[in-house]
Structure 1
Amino acid sequence: MDNVMMDRLIKNLDELVNARSGVLSSIRRDMLEAVEKAVKEVLPQNALRRYVKRTRSLLIVDKTRYNLNDFKRFVVLGAGKASIGMAEYIEKILSDKIDSGIIVAPREVASKARLEKIDVLPSTHPIPSMLGVRASEKLLEYASSIDSETLVIFLLSGGASALIPLPASPVTLEDKAQTTKLLLNCGATIDEINIVRRHLSEIKGGRLVKKLGNAKIVSLIISDVVGNKLEAIGSGPTAPDPTTFRDAYEVLKRYNLWDKIPESVRKRIEDGLNGIVDENPKPGDPIFEMVQNIIIADISDVCEAARRHLIQRNYPVRVLTRYMEGEASEIGRFLASVLKEHASRRKKTAIICGGETTVRVRGHGIGGRNQELALSASMNISGLAYSCLISVGTDGVDGPTNAAGAIVDDETYREAVEKELNPIAYLEDNNSYEFFKHVGGHVITGPTGTNVGDIVIGVYYSE
């Protein structure tokens, strides 16, 4: 039992299970354990073990073999929420070869890193800061010292966009942070946000590759982007950028932000539109001939691991989508309708969705997209006996809160009303965190050390 507890990813799993009895308690345990299995599938060391192996003087990355004797120097660089775990694995299998390296990680976990040859620089997420600028400058300074006889292993994961901000002139950090906040609050997708951020950066959109000269680069990527667009993951520091300044302009116009963003951001984009500033390097550019970009984990792995677990627990399972996007509250309402459809036929089912929703901030509360999705669903499965839904961010952090997400069932709404709470008011105020603080249902993991987006599981149990 002690070993099981030590292996728990969800710290309050038993509390959430014991909050119900009978069938609902069993459903909750099955769903929570499915989420645990799913997230563990994409922990950095588990993902890397499937794709990166070493046999004496050979480094095998997927199907590509690198003769280690062909290189005089081995360097590890990287950024992202999973960078520490990724670096630990690479350092383990290449400890006798690695010369040195730098990775940038969230400051909450950077101090806990235990690496011998790779320096860990702290930064902030989701809003960039001077801490990140200093880390980016050090990363670029280090990159400029690398030559053609070096093998660079670049470790990239979700969160890198904010962790390594290096604003391009005339944009200031404050201006870039303000633009990021506006995009986050208006409901723009992570892909759209990154289109803008790539065009305000000296390091993203393939620009890092320019700094690395003719070195061979192996970029190992844990994707948090729906559809796995290389240019969108961490804003693509080692990938060609197929988007343009025109695309960045259109994103800002689409959300009515063009007149709200700082003047320096408008000038940067206007200069790009007028050809005064060069576009980011595009697909087909010769600088990418020495780059191998490979995705080692994504939301598909999470969905598949959850599916396998629920099948073992005798649920008929359907993965509805691995491309979930849209307003969190609307997705929650839709998934509740799917459970109602199965209930109308008294058909036991489990549905799985992976992706990343957004929240259009209208109120003044505290919450995150997963909690908002779950709150919305709870209002629509109220009274639907033996129905349950869980929504969790695989990074363990949902918005500016200590929760990874939330779990709800057909009793959640009733409990709220009994406590004289108004779920609709909490939803309208974007105050999902406080709602679940009163009612119960927060899923607590702490930072997981990975990030591939969000997973949602819904269950209707017909006896």
Structure 2
Amino acid sequence: MNSSLRSDANTIIERSIQAVLPDEAVRRALSGRKFSGRVLLVAAGKAAWQMASAAAAQLGDGLSAGVVVTKYDHVKGDIPHCTCYEAGHPVPDENSFAATQAALDLVKDAGEGDTVLFLLSGGGSALFEKPLVSGEELQNITGQLLACGADIVEMNTLRKRLSAVKGGRFAQLCAPAKVFAVVLSDILGDPLDMIASGPACPDSSTCAQALAVVEKYHLTLSDAAMECLKQETPKQLDNVETQITGSVRQLCAAAAQVCRQLGYEPVILTDQLCCQAKEAGSFLASIAKTHARPEHPMAFIAGGETVVQLTGKGRGGRNQELALAAAEGIAGMDNAAVFSVGSDGTDGPTDAAGGYVDGSTRAALLAAGLTVHGVLAENDAYHALQKTDGLIVTGPTGTNVNDVALALVR
């Protein structure tokens, strides 16, 4: 392994994620804002604890009460006036349902002069949920969507219709109280109604689009679930004000700045990456080969969210799979590396944030009796990268603004 390239990769990851943490953004959103009645905080998503902690510090005793629901192992301590819950992601579980009910109990008596401060980040679709079908069926449908390679917009088009809180329905339940939503975007283009399935945003998707997703991927739904897909969601809300803060575009810009500080010339290829993870990895490897002997170090940056189509029963995530798929293309290059990370610090159902490969990775896999093609067919990038010291482990970061992948060439 090229230790110098790996060191640069670690520095880029650490500093670029640090630049998009939501603390300052939440403080800016609340700065100078006056609330007349009670302030009830509801925070949901992978960055919920970080956002709620910043809000509680800003509001002090002006915060009446709050409910925070985030992913397992993402609560970093107590927050004044708030009760924190941890729940299932990417598949909702009973703790998701219980935490959401606690949030609904909190806001059910909110009056016209009160404000619900709604702090939302990616992952909220699973964590903030009151299903209109059985929990078991919702988990099954979510599993089907993850396995078939549906993108996040397609997934949320279905999930918001199977929920009592998504697609603007949470804001309806808060009325007559006002909802002030601060949203950390994890979806390309920042479509408000799709981030965490838009609990406080009018829904732009239609029943016809939801039914088309079922047909496209040959999903299996009960008659009750199919009836839910035919019930239209709110198209207008007059009690909501929203601020978007943070996005993958900012993450790419932060990565570019760190690369420049390290002596690389950064090139942002896209902040709208949306394809199969292994295709993105192969593409970045091709770029590295095209610039195999640059006059000065180059860094090619791609932000977005790829998908994985499950063909095996291994362990991994989209960022690990992207990185591993690049190993074949840059094999033998002593001056190139490709790595990809999820800004939230988790990648799929693993403890890794992503993966790193360089010109020595393929040979190391072969020495262990593995091939890149075989590992990808089994979707087992985690164990393969573990053998090559290619796992990137950051722990929960407190933010969630999609993924960033880089090809470094010296």
Shorter-chain-normalised TM-score: which range? over 0.9
Q: Does structure 2 retain, via aligned residues, the 8 Å contact 1:179–1:262?
A: no
Partner residue of 1:213?
175
Q: Does structure 1 retain, via aligned residues, the 8 Å contact 2:30–2:55?
A: no
Q: 3-state SS of the aligned residue for 1:297? A: coil
Partner residue of 2:217?
255
- Give the Cα separation in 2 of the matches to 1:414 and 1:106: 37
Of 239-248 and 411-420, the range deviating more from structure 2: 411-420
Alignment gaps of 5+ in structure 1: 1-19, 60-66
Partner residue of 2:406?
457
The correspondence for 1:83, drawn from 34, 38, 48, is 48
CA offsets, 1:300-333, max 9 Å, x none? 1211111111111221111111111110001110
Runs of 4+ in 1 over 3 A off after TM superposition: 344-348
TM superposition shift of 1:443: 0.5
Distance change (3 Å), C-alpha of 1:312 and 1:345: closer
Distance change (3 Å), C-alpha of 1:268 and 1:74: closer
- Give the Cα separation in 2 of the matches to 1:360 and 1:84: 31
- Give the Cα separation in 2 of the matches to 1:237 and 1:437: 38
The correspondence for 1:229, drawn from 191, 205, 219, is 191
Partner residue of 2:160?
198
How is 1:215-364 mapped onto 2 (pairs within 5 angstroms)? 215-257=177-219, 260-269=220-229, 272=230, 277=231, 279-282=232-235, 285=236, 287-288=237-238, 290-343=239-292, 348-364=297-313
Q: Does structure 2 retain, via aligned residues, the 8 Å contact 1:322–1:355?
A: yes
Which of structures 1 and 2 has the bigger CA Rg? 1
TM superposition shift of 1:157: 0.5
- Give the Cα separation in 2 of the matches to 1:104 and 1:384: 45
The correspondence for 1:142, drawn from 106, 120, 126, is 106
Q: Does structure 2 retain, via aligned residues, the 8 Å contact 1:369–1:399?
A: yes
Q: 3-state SS of the aligned residue for 2:370? A: coil
Alignment gaps of 5+ in structure 2: none
- Give the Cα separation in 2 of the matches to 1:76 and 1:366: 36
How is 1:416-455 mapped onto 2 (pairs within 5 angstroms)? 416-455=365-404
Q: 3-state SS of the aligned residue for 1:109? A: coil
- Give the Cα separation in 1 of the matches to 2:197 and 2:130: 12
Q: What amino acid does structure 1 have at the position aligned with 2:71?
A: P
Q: 3-state SS of the aligned residue for 2:399? A: coil
Q: What amino acid does structure 2 have at the position aligned with 1:96?
A: D
- Give the Cα separation in 2 of the matches to 1:268 and 1:441: 44
How is 1:10-49 mapped onto 2 (pairs within 5 angstroms)? 20=1, 24-49=2-27
Q: Does structure 2 retain, via aligned residues, the 8 Å contact 1:332–1:376?
A: yes
Distance change (3 Å), C-alpha of 1:416 and 1:346: farther
Q: Does structure 2 retain, via aligned residues, the 8 Å contact 1:178–1:261?
A: no
- Give the Cα separation in 2 of the matches to 1:433 and 1:188: 22
Distance change (3 Å), C-alpha of 1:402 and 1:419: same
Q: 3-state SS of the aligned residue for 2:141? A: helix
Q: Does structure 1 retain, via aligned residues, the 8 Å contact 2:29–2:182?
A: no
Partner residue of 1:3?
none
Aligned residues: 410
How is 1:151-162 mapped onto 2 (pairs within 5 angstroms)? 151-162=115-126
TM-score in terms of structure 2 length: 0.96
Partner residue of 2:90?
126
Q: What amino acid does structure 2 have at the position aligned with 1:206?
A: G
Partner residue of 2:342?
393
TM superposition shift of 1:156: 0.2
Partner residue of 1:52?
29
Partner residue of 1:8?
none
Q: Does structure 2 retain, via aligned residues, the 8 Å contact 1:374–1:406?
A: yes
Partner residue of 1:107?
72
- Give the Cα separation in 1 of the matches to 2:14 and 2:214: 37
TM superposition shift of 1:348: 3.6
TM superposition shift of 1:453: 1.0
- Give the Cα separation in 2 of the matches to 1:459 and 1:387: 5
TM superposition shift of 1:131: 1.5
TM superposition shift of 1:299: 0.9
TM superposition shift of 1:113: 2.7
TM superposition shift of 1:410: 0.8
TM-score in terms of structure 1 length: 0.85
Q: What amino acid does structure 1 have at the position aligned with 2:233?
A: N
